[in-house]
Amino acid sequence: MTHSLPQTEGLDESVLVERAKSGETAAFTELVRRYDKKIFRMAKQITQSDEDAEDVLQEALFKAYKHLDDFQGNSKFYTWIVRIAVNEALMKLRKRKSDRTVSLDEEIDTGEETVTREIAVWDGDPEQRYSQEELRVILDNAIQSLKPSFRTVFVLRDVEELSTEETADTLGLSIPAVKSRLLRARLELREKLTRMFKKKGEDAFAYL
Amino acid sequence: MLTCKDLLSELNTFLDDTADPNLRQELQRHVNECPNCWVIVDTTQKTLKVYKGMQAQEIPPGIESRVMKALERKIAADKASSGA
């Protein structure tokens, strides 16, 4: 276990960036410690593997250190480092044999009509009906079933809450491509979750 | 009059509130009148809500300290080699 030096704790991010740039290792580690959990979670959601997510985190943090001088400070540090981590995560996916087809800019049919077959209201609030753990398994399974190109856009936009522009920039996609993938991802997830959460039987159309 | 297909293709601008006011009004009218689209909008909103509400998963024990140790080691090695 390593400890950050007391004088780096609670410091403003811009101060930490400056100190890190001037070569203060403790300032850099304090800086990345603030985001490592978020980066790990994002990497895990894209790669769907603890092991790959650990590699991604480690490689992304070291790359950030090596390229710290490129960080201009006109975007948030998190946006900058998450971009590095997403690229590492995508490289992981591409390296996997089973995912050889991973291409983010392939032409894809985003046909919305095909993913709106399940039209039923939900039976109460899933956050009340399921434990945190049960809910996490359901949500992870649904995300896992998306194609990587939809999954990645969804994770960046709706989980990490990057803007459309930041997501497009990070993934090297056009803004319309981000928008169409996000729509498809949202609709697919809605479809899958509705299958789990819908009211069963006669109540299914209780809204009519 | 907007169709269900129009609503579907504008779903994101509707949910993210980025549609221009006139379009938004038209979409809202359609949602109010079309039970299927109302359900689609409602369940998509709930889908986003559960994902946003998902608590950040803890890094499995050991990973964070392993990563930070490795990082400090790599930085030290990097400094040693560039300082030499």
pLDDT tens digits along B9-31: 999 999 999 999 999 999 999 99
CA distance, residue B26 to nearest chain A CA (Å)? 20
Question: Which residues in B lie closer than 8 A to residue A193 (C-beta atoms)?
Answer: 43, 46-47, 50
φ/ψ of residue B47, rounded to 5: -60, -50
Q: Is the pLDDT of residue A99 over 80?
A: no
Chain A / chain B CB contacts < 8 angstroms: 119
φ/ψ of residue A122, rounded to 5: -85, 150
The 10s digit of each residue's pLDDT in A10-68 is 788 899 999 999 999 999 999 999 999 889 989 998 998 899 999 999 999 999 999 99
Residue B52's pLDDT is what?
Answer: 86
The β-bridge partners of A198 are A122
Residue A208's pLDDT is what?
Answer: 46
Q: Cβ of A193 and B50 within 8 Å?
A: yes
Which one is predicted more confidently, A145 or B59? A145
Does domain B4-83 bear CATH number 1.10.10?
Answer: yes
Q: Cβ of B57 and A41 within 8 Å?
A: yes
Note the ipTM here. 0.87
Domains of chain A, start order: 6-99 (1.10.1740.10), 112-205 (1.10.10.10)
Residue A161's pLDDT is what?
Answer: 86
CA distance, residue A1 to nearest chain B CA (Å)? 6
The 10s digit of each residue's pLDDT in A100-157 is 455 555 545 555 556 667 889 999 899 999 998 899 899 989 998 999 889 999 999 9
Spatial CB neighbours of A93, under 8 Å, sequence gap ≥ 6: A46, A47, A99, A102, A148
Q: How far apart are CA A79 and CA B29, in angstroms?
A: 37
The β-bridge partners of A122 are A198
Q: Which residue in the set A121, A126, A179 is minimally distant from B50, CB to CB?
A: A126
